[in-house]
């Protein structure tokens, strides 16, 4: 029998696969204001808008239990989903949490995961309202779905950026990736000699950035206080380059990102130097920082200029000019999405 050519997932990559699986979706309900294609879906019910997002964390793909504490894992599973809600300029309200576990996990181990989930719910003010449990043959998978609320016309999409808008980021970047590099290095040392003292001291910040990231719910509140509504926004889960390109594609614009403006923590720089890496590479391609990348109109500059947690890192330009990294020497290098891509395994 004639067989059609089969396409491997690695040929498309994660984002290519998502586009292929969702390209024929047709919205049937008036309450669906925004479906796939952003950080979260937006559903409209009367005067309220509900935002919904979901994420999977899979053992061996997203985490390594050799060095990830189970309580931290439960916390992170919630935080990364809440981050998507923040990227819509919305407030998280409820989650559901589902897990698939193999027989190697005890009841006490599962309870430890849920301690982390409950702690995150307490910190973010969200309710755990449901979920599911099932068995697995290969390890652990956690799936969290989060719901949030946003007032009409207050939601922010990836698609609203205009030329001359300022490109901004909260916090600092690259720390989570450098924390991961540190953990991977020490894990290799441990496998060779379990009795050797691990070198983790002095790097608490980047370890926390990797193991227990925080969603920027505070930034959503700050936007409200400052009277600023970003023109576009996305959370940084896959690396700065990748997220900038998402904003550019969805908004139909280009971008100039200035190398010297990318905010880096001292520990990030120190770890990069120790590993003989350029810390900018960690910021551009590392991912898992869960900071907010957003654009604002130039008229809002005065409202955000004194906020110590917001850095202006570039500006949007016409799409024909492309998305570029402007080096400290003034050269322009096209931005390439080299961040973590699950479909390509890197």
Looking up residue 132, the CATH number of its domain turns out to be 3.30.1330.10
Domain boundary among 124, 151, 178: 151
**Would the pLDDT of 175 be above 60?**
yes
Helix or strand run (H / E) with residue 73:
helix 70-86
Q: Does 240 fall in a domain?
A: yes
Measured from the Cβ of residue 109, the count of other Cβ atoms closer than 10 Å reads 13
Query: Does 176 share its domain with 312?
Result: yes
Write out the H or E segment, with its range, that includes residue 254.
Answer: strand 253-258
**Phi, psi at residue 107, to the nearest 5°?**
-60, -40
Query: 310-318 and 253-258 as β-strands: parallel, antiparallel, unpaired?
Result: antiparallel
Q: What tens digit of pLDDT does each residue of 283-321 get?
A: 999 999 999 999 999 999 999 999 999 999 999 999 999
> What region does 232 belong to: left with phi over 0, alpha with psi -120 to 50, or beta?
beta
Residue-number span of the structural domain to which 216 is assigned = 166-334
Do 79 and 180 reside in the same domain of the chain? no
Tell me the average pLDDT of the chain: 89
Model confidence at 339: pLDDT above 60 = no
Q: Return the DSSP state at 59.
A: B
Number of domain units in the chain: 2
Whether 257 maps to a domain, the answer reads yes
- Specify if 22 maps to a domain: no
Among the residue ranges 15-24, 219-228, 259-268, the one predicted with the least confidence is 15-24
Q: Are 318 and 253 in contact (CB under 8 A)?
A: yes
Edge-to-edge strands of the sheet including 127-135? 32-34, 41-45, 48-58, 141-151, 91-101, 127-135
30-56 pLDDT tens trace? 656 565 555 567 777 777 788 999 998
Judge whether 16 lies within some domain. Answer: no
In a domain, 6, yes or no: no
183 and 49 within one domain: no
Choose among 112, 163, 110, 104: nearest CA to 138: 104
Asked if the structure places residue 324 within a domain, the reply is: yes
The torsion of the CA quartet 97, 236, 40, 83, rounded to 10 degrees, works out to 50
pLDDT confidence of residue 294? 98
CATH number of the domain residue 210 falls in? 3.90.650.10
Asked whether residue 134 falls in the same domain as residue 228, the answer is no
177/288 Cα distance (integer angstroms): 7
Please tell me the distance from the alpha carbon of residue 60 to that of residue 76, in angstroms, as a whole number. Answer: 16
């Amino acid at each position: 029998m004639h067989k059609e050519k089969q396409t491997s997932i690695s040929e498309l990559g994660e984002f290519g696969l998502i586009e292929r699986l969702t390209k024929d979706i047709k919205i049937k309900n008036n309450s669906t204001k925004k479906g796939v294609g952003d950080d979260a879906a937006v559903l409209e019910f009367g005067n309220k808008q509900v935002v919904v997002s979901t994420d999977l964390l899979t053992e061996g793909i997203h985490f390594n239990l050799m060095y990830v504490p189970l309580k931290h894992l439960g916390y992170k599973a919630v935080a990364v989903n809440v981050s998507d809600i923040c990227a819509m300029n919305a407030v998280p309200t409820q989650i559901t949490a589902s897990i698939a576990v193999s027989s190697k996990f005890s009841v006490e181990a599962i309870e430890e995961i849920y301690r982390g989930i409950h702690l995150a719910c307490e910190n973010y003010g969200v309710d755990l309202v449901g979920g599911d449990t099932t068995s697995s043959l290969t390890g652990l998978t956690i799936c969290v779905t989060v719901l949030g609320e946003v007032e009409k016309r207050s939601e922010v999409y990836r698609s609203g950026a205009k030329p001359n808008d300022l490109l901004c980021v909260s916090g600092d970047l690259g720390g989570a990736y450098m924390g991961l590099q540190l953990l991977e290095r020490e894990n290799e040392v441990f496998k060779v000699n379990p009795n050797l003292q691990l070198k983790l001291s002095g790097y608490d910040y980047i370890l926390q950035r990797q193991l227990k990231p925080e969603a920027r719910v505070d930034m959503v509140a700050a936007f409200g206080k400052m009277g600023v509504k970003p023109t576009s926004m996305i959370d940084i889960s896959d690396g700065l380059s990748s997220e900038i390109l998402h904003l550019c594609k969805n908004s139909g614009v280009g971008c100039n990102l200035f190398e010297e403006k990318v905010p880096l923590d001292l520990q990030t720089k120190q770890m990069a130097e120790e590993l003989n890496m350029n810390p900018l590479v960690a910021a551009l391609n590392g991912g898992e920082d869960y900071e907010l990348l957003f654009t604002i109109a130039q008229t809002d500059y005065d409202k955000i200029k004194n906020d110590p947690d917001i850095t202006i890192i570039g500006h949007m330009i016409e799409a024909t000019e492309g998305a570029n990294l402007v080096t400290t020497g003034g050269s322009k290098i096209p931005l390439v999405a080299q961040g973590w891509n699950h479909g390509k395994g890197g």
